[in-house]
Amino acid sequence: MFNKSVNLPLIGLILACCASVASAESDAPKPAMPVTESVAQAAVTPQVENLKESVLNLNRDLLILEEELLYPPSNQVAVYLSMDLGQFFSLDAVRVEIDNKLVASELYTDKQINALFRGGVQRLYIGNLKAGQHEISAFFTGRGPQQDYKRGAKLVVNKTQSPLVLELKIIDSTAQYQPTFTIKEWKAD
């Protein structure tokens, strides 16, 4: 799920680092006595581990930078999904629309549903949105104990210059013996 424009320079960097490690090893003075393979490997292993750690840190920094460049905070909108369900609903799919334009859709596997049941939160969408009033719509499909559900929720938001974070919540309503679907805007403290 990585952007190819980020991975190609990263792969080039990894290859350059490996080449520099290899050239440093070939430039190293040769020992007078033969060295066993395990001793040589033990000397290289810490260097390789340090190189791997550096590459992972660089990749993390590049992904953060890419997100900041693609989605500046003044235009950013993010949509997350959470579930607090028990016996009234089993999620199959979600669709998200902003101003009647489809921006995200997801079909769920059993593993994904179990992760959401255990308290996981899924980021469905991150993108840019101009300041002003916008209508957010979410459509949920799934199965209940006695019927299939196809429900929706809407929220009109006023996008300002700060990031907009929304949560799609699916909650069991024990009073109504059915699920409820809401969209909640997270406010910055």
Q: Where are the domains of the chain?
A: 4-70, 76-186
pLDDT in tens, 23-43: 555 555 555 545 555 655 666
Closest CA to 131 of 153, 97, 158, 100: 158
Q: Which two tokens stand for residue 153?
A: 């929720």
Q: Is residue 22 over pLDDT 60?
A: no
Residues 6+ apart with CB under 8 A from 154: 135, 136, 137, 138, 183
164, 129 Cβ separation under 8 angstroms = yes
83, 167 Cβ separation under 8 angstroms = no
Instruction: Look at 100 and 143; give whichever has higher pLDDT.
Output: 100
| pTM (predicted TM-score) | 0.62
Query: Residues for the chain: how many in total?
Result: 189
The pLDDT assigned to 11 comes to 56
Write the DSSP assignment of 3-22 as a string of letters.
-HHHHHHHHHHHHHHHHHHH
The pLDDT assigned to 4 comes to 44
Neighbours of 116 (CB within 10 A): 19
Q: Is residue 72 over pLDDT 80?
A: no
> Within the chain, how many helices (H) and strands (E) appear?
3, 8
In percent, how much of the chain has pLDDT > 70? 74
Q: Is residue 169 over pLDDT 80?
A: yes
Which CATH number is 76-186 given? 2.60.40
In percent, how much of the chain has pLDDT > 90? 27
Rounded to the nearest integer, the mean pLDDT of the chain is 79
d(CA 36, CA 60): 37
